[in-house]
């Protein structure tokens, strides 16, 4: 079944999913903190849009609710909380660029290919038109991981973490047409609590090392201990 | 069902009350009471399960496997709360945390108990995930309770690593749900473990093995399997000692429990393929790696709690390895090991907490002459370490002996690696232990107010289990073995 | 494809190539006019570029005494290569013998040839400006070319052909299909086009005095008809990219036969599309500021990334089992 045979609405889902992947790359490369938060909000909105369109193209049911949940949580609430935290921490103008952007981007592309290869058994299952998006969502998860590994700024790491969660939401929608409602609510609750705790931690980290570069959190390495 | 709900709701009520209670003195007692109620309810629950086989409903499922972990969890929760009452008062008096910190501590302690129990009793893989993530969320603030740079760093590492790991586990859960949708008539039930287990043979093997890899990495992070173990020594050494005791004694168990439940599904799905034991081999590989690496790391530790957290990694590796071997003997041994390790390790952490209070530091080089200063602490530490290192006549010896026998049966050449690992770990522990217990006490080292009752209870139980496993417990573990491995041992 | 290689078809191809050359200054004038309007100026008439070219053609050619014969030959080579490249892109009709014998990779190659001689000519006289412009041009080219190829490959994979006419045919045949890969390829091509034609934010076409100029720095030493040819080549290149983007991504309206009516409709369609594109470009140039030169690699890396994502998106999302 190639894309040209799908109804227009389902083609739209694929386009939106591809855009989600693109926002992941934007997040990966974005140096300015506030712009990165905006990119994250866009990603959340796109995931919500994917969910809505999947719901509209036949899956229906509680997916509408889950789209609303994603929109509220990932596109509005969490970006807003991060924005406020960044303001309170006086990090508005903060920017730290990647150390080796080309390398990181290439690694990101490699991850996309890797996730495609990984989920091939699912693609072969041929359940619904969204199965191709599973590779995209896994790629978004892995790109979030890459972002956390390549950045040292605490807020950016949190963005990476949250974008991983976006990938998971996308996976749930694309592979299975949404998890059961109670699980989805539980996951959303966990994410929200995690965000509040991250906020608490920003202040604790700043209090203890005067910066949010978690690079500087290096007291507890095995090597250092031997020198003491 | 009432017993189950009571077990779960006691910690919830405790958390709510403790969150509002400002009196420190009463908070300690409320904490103990909530744990005691939960334990009593858990025992009642175990009684019912022993009589009827299993309880299910409201998307809960309690069978022989998890009910024993529920009892263990509530029991260790109770003894640790008894220990934590005077210990945390000492912490508060010494100014390492304030009243707000204490309130958070108590509320989160009960919240943590709740998430553990929920993870154990739920029948829904999604809720299991939510509960295990919840366990991270409730404990992460406790790790940073002292607000030192080290504590904050440890908590951040813990948060990020476990968060990432658990996110991968969710991806694995999604894949499982995906596989279930092809099979089940009611796709909404695709996360219910019991239904999945009944239909495990029909689940698509390719998808399930992919899901298992994600779940293994995800929950394996929580178990502390090498190389995802980085957070574990930090979180254990920097958090308050009661937290180390429950993390080591309970959280790791629960994560392992989740892994085993998933493994049962994957085994069912892969049974007819060319690689029926893929999941088992993966567990064996990760388990053996953790076991050996942690044993080596024991030697280079300078912090006493760090050292024992590596010992926990080592033992979790051993259990993972044993569950990987599969078969009734190894499974029985692993279940027994889970039990005795939890009891011993929490006893050790409690003792270590007192030892650190006596010496005023956690540095191994500065803890000296415990037996002279406070014989109860010194002897407890000595006996606890002897037990955890696998000396007869303690229970750990029994379970390790069973595991060695099972390994001899299944993979004879791995017995050598196992014995070497045990010897290395033994040497690592005793090398550091000897001066701490026997060395000359520094001038002016004073004993502290210590409630050693929990330690005695734990070590006594471990000793009892080493001398003779009571019949009811043996039958109990045997039923759990039957559930997991598909065959009786006894 | 044999039916395409008839004398009539060649005649039409020649007409189309002529149209490129004739339309090019018009588009340049139109963009300038739009920009002036957006900036609340009256601006020069739309036909001003024709007058400029005419005037330059009549002027005396002054060549620096350090210049080699290459310097004199370069304008002709650059103009011919660009014009030939343009001739392979279907403008009003999709039946084109040039398009049948030269695919999209030849197009990229011809443009690279033109750029190569442009850069050589810039360095030939030995003035600092020329060398600086040439080195910058090569920097941009080195980054833009892979991005362009990536976008082109995405198109080729979708249409199963590297032939432009076939790509357009495939697009027309499929009807309205939302392809994520084409979206990314379009974005990549737009970015490449902006960089290659020296528009804001990469280069500023309407200045001679900034130290940041690229294209203008290379042709600073030219005068008379040489300069006219260089300017004209640049204008043709702009039209070429405009037509490429317009006809590949919005192919509707292009003539599929040699009937006068459909050809007229095709011509009307392409003029309309170019007018819209020109207006959009003018608006974008009014809003955006030129970026610093060392930000240009990031800009083009984005284009490369978009091209790559287009390719991956095609493989992952569109090639269903």
Q: Do C312 and A116 touch (CB under 8 A)?
A: yes
If interface means Cβ-Cβ distance under 8 Å, which residues of chain A face chain C? 1-4, 8, 11-12, 14-15, 17-19, 21-22, 25, 101-102, 105, 109, 112-113, 116, 123-124, 126, 129, 132-133, 135-136
Which residues of chain C have a CB within 8 Å of the CB of A15? Answer: 178-180, 183
Chains adjacent to B (≥3 CB pairs closer than 8 angstroms): A
Cβ–Cβ < 8 Å for B354, B447: no
Of the candidates A138, A190, A225, the beta carbon closest to that of B171 is on A138
Collect all residues with Cβ–Cβ distance below 8 Å to B179 and sequence separation of at least 6. Answer: B203, B204, B207, B208, B211, B269
What's the gap in Å between the CA of B451 and the closest CA on chain A? 31
What's the gap in Å between the CA of A175 and the closest CA on chain C? 14
What's the gap in Å between the CA of A126 and the closest CA on chain C? 7
DSSP 8-state code for residue A218:
-
Which residues of chain C have a CB within 8 Å of the CB of A105? Answer: 301, 305
For residues A119-140, give the mean pLDDT.
75
Q: By CA distance, what is C316's nearest residue in A?
A: A132
Collect all residues with Cβ–Cβ distance below 8 Å to C280 and sequence separation of at least 6. Answer: none
Walk along chain C (321 residues) and give the pLDDT tens digit of each residue. Answer: 456 667 887 888 888 889 999 999 999 999 999 999 998 988 889 899 999 999 999 898 888 888 889 999 999 999 999 999 998 888 888 777 777 777 888 888 999 999 999 999 988 888 888 888 888 889 888 889 889 989 988 888 888 888 888 888 888 887 777 888 889 999 999 999 998 888 888 887 776 666 667 888 888 888 889 999 999 999 999 999 999 999 888 888 888 877 888 888 888 999 999 999 999 999 998 888 887 777 888 888 889 999 999 988 888 887 754
Q: By CA distance, what is A154's nearest residue in B?
A: B156
Touching check for A58 and chain B: CB below 8 Å?
no
Q: Give C233-249 pLDDT, tens digit per residue.
A: 999 999 999 999 998 88
Residue B219 has pLDDT above 90, yes or no: yes
Residue B316 has pLDDT above 90, yes or no: yes
Q: Do A22 and C316 touch (CB under 8 A)?
A: no
Which of A6, A10, A15 is best to mutate for the C interface (most C CBs within 10 A)? Answer: A15
Note the pLDDT of residue C2.
Answer: 55
Q: Do A189 and B130 touch (CB under 8 A)?
A: yes
The pLDDT confidence band at residue A143, using thresholds 50, 70 and 90, is very high
Q: From the CB of residue A218, how many other CB atoms can be counted at a distance below 10 Å?
A: 11
Q: By CA distance, what is A12's nearest residue in C?
A: C178
Note the pLDDT of residue A226.
Answer: 41
Q: Do A125 and B174 touch (CB under 8 A)?
A: no
Note the pLDDT of residue C3.
Answer: 60
Of the candidates A101, A105, A116, the beta carbon closest to that of C316 is on A116
Chains adjacent to A (≥3 CB pairs closer than 8 angstroms): B, C
Residue A223 has pLDDT above 50, yes or no: no
What's the gap in Å between the CA of A26 and the closest CA on chain B? 20
Q: Do chains C and B meet with 3 or more Cβ pairs nearer than 8 Å?
A: no
Q: Do chains C and A meet with 3 or more Cβ pairs nearer than 8 Å?
A: yes
What's the gap in Å between the CA of B104 and the closest CA on chain A? 13
Q: What Å distances lie between residue C141 and B475, C85, C135, C147, CA to CA?
A: 77, 17, 10, 10
Q: Which of residues 139-198 of A touch B (CB under 8 A)?
A: 141, 144-145, 148, 154, 157, 161, 164-165, 167-168, 171-172, 175-177, 179-180, 182-183, 186-187, 189-190, 193-194, 197-198
């Amino acid at each position: 079944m190639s894309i040209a045979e799908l109804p227009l609405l389902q083609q739209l889902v694929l386009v939106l999913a591809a855009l989600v992947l693109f926002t992941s790359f934007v997040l990966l490369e974005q140096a300015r903190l506030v712009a990165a938060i905006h990119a994250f909000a866009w990603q959340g909105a796109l995931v919500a849009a994917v969910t809505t369109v999947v719901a509209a193209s036949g899956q229906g049911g509680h997916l509408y609710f889950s789209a609303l949940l994603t929109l509220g949580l990932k596109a509005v609430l969490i970006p807003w909380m991060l924005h406020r935290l960044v303001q309170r921490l006086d990090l508005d103008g903060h920017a730290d660029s990647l150390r080796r952007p080309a390398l990181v981007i290439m690694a990101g592309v490699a991850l996309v290919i890797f996730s495609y290869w990984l989920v091939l058994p699912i693609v072969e299952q041929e359940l619904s038109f969204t199965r191709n998006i599973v590779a995209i969502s896994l790629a978004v998860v892995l790109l979030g991981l890459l972002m956390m590994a390549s950045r040292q700024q605490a807020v950016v790491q949190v963005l990476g973490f949250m974008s991983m969660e976006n990938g998971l939401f996308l996976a749930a929608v694309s592979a299975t047409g949404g998890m059961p409602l109670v699980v989805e609510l539980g996951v959303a609750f966990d994410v929200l609590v995690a965000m509040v705790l991250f906020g608490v931690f920003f202040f604790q980290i700043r209090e203890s090392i005067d910066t949010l570069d978690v690079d500087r959190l290096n007291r507890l390495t095995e090597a250092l201990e031997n020198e003491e | 069902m009432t017993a189950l709900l009571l077990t779960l709701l006691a910690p919830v009520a405790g958390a709510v009350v403790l969150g509002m209670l400002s009196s420190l003195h009463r908070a300690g007692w409320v904490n103990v009471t909530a744990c005691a109620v939960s334990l009593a309810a858990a025992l009642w629950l175990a009684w019912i399960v022993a009589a009827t086989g299993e309880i299910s409903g409201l998307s809960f499922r309690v069978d022989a496997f998890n009910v024993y972990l529920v009892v263990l969890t509530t029991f260790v929760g109770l003894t640790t709360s008894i220990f934590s009452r005077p210990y945390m008062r000492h912490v508060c008096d010494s100014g390492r945390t304030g009243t707000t910190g204490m309130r958070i501590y108590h509320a989160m302690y009960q919240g943590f108990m709740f998430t553990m129990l929920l993870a154990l009793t739920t029948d829904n893989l999604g809720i299991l995930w939510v509960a295990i993530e919840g366990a991270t969320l409730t404990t992460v603030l406790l790790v940073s309770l002292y607000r030192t740079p080290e504590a904050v760093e440890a908590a951040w590492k813990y948060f990020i690593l476990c968060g990432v790991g658990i996110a991968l586990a969710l991806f694995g859960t999604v894949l499982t749900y995906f596989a279930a949708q092809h099979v089940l008539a009611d796709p909404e039930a695709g996360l219910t473990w019991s239904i999945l287990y009944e239909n495990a043979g029909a689940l698509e093997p390719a998808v399930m093995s992919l899901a298992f890899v994600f779940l293994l990495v995800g929950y394996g992070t929580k178990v502390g399997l090498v190389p995802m173990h980085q957070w574990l020594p930090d979180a254990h050494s920097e958090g308050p000692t009661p937290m180390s005791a429950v993390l080591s004694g309970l959280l790791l168990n629960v994560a392992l429990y989740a892994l085993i439940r998933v493994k049962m599904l994957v085994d069912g799905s892969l049974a007819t393929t060319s690689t029926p034991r893929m999941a088992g081999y993966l567990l064996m590989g990760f388990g053996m790696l953790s076991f050996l690496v942690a044993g080596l790391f024991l030697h280079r530790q300078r912090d006493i709690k760090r050292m024992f957290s590596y010992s926990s990694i080592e033992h979790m590796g051993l259990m993972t390895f044993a569950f990987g071997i599969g078969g009734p003997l190894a499974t029985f041994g692993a279940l027994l090991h889970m039990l005795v390790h939890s009891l011993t390790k929490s006893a050790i952490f409690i003792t270590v907490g007192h030892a650190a209070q006596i010496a005023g530091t956690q540095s191994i080089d500065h803890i000296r002459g415990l037996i002279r200063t406070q014989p109860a602490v010194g002897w407890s530490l000595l006996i606890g370490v002897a037990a955890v290192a696998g000396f007869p006549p303690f229970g750990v010896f029994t379970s390790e002996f069973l595991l060695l026998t099972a390994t001899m049966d299944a993979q004879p050449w791995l017995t050598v690696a196992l014995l070497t690992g045990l010897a290395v770990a033994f040497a690592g522990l005793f090398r550091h232990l000897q001066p701490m217990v026997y060395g000359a006490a520094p001038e002016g080292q004073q004993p502290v107010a210590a409630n050693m009752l929990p330690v005695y209870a734990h070590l006594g139980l471990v000793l009892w289990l080493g001398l003779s496993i009571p019949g009811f417990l043996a039958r109990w573990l045997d039923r759990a073995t039957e559930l997991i491995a598909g065959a009786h041992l006894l | 494809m044999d039916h395409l290689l008839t004398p009539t078809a060649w005649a039409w191809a020649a007409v189309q190539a002529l149209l490129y050359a004739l339309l090019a200054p018009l588009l340049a004038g139109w963009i300038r006019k739009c920009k002036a309007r957006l900036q609340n100026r009256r601006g020069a008439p739309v036909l001003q570029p024709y007058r400029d070219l005419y005037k330059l053609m009549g002027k005396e050619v002054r060549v620096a005494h350090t210049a080699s014969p290459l310097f004199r030959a370069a304008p002709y080579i650059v103009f011919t290569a660009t014009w030939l490249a343009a001739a392979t892109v279907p403008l009003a009709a999709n039946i084109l013998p040039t398009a049948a014998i030269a695919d999209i990779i030849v197009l990229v190659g011809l443009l690279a040839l033109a750029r190569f001689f442009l850069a050589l000519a810039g360095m030939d006289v030995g003035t600092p400006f020329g060398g600086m412009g040439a080195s910058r041009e090569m920097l941009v080219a080195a980054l833009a070319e892979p991005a362009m190829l990536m976008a082109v490959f995405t198109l080729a994979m979708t249409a199963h052909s590297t032939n432009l006419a076939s790509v357009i045919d495939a697009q027309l045949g499929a009807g309205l299909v939302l392809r994520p890969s084409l979206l990314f390829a379009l974005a990549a091509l737009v970015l490449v086009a902006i960089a290659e034609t020296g528009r804001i934010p990469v280069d500023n076409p309407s200045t001679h005095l900034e130290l940041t100029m690229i294209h203008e720095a290379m042709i600073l030493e030219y005068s008379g008809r040489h300069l006219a040819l260089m300017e004209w080549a640049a204008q043709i290149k702009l039209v070429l990219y405009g037509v490429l983007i317009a006809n590949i991504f919005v192919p509707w309206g292009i003539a599929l036969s040699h009937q006068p009516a459909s050809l007229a409709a095709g011509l009307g369609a392409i003029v309309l599309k170019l007018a819209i594109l020109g207006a959009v470009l003018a608006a974008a140039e009014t809003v955006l500021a030129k970026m610093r030169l060392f930000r240009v690699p990031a800009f083009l890396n984005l284009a490369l990334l978009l091209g790559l994502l287009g390719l991956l998106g095609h493989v992952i999302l569109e090639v269903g089992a």
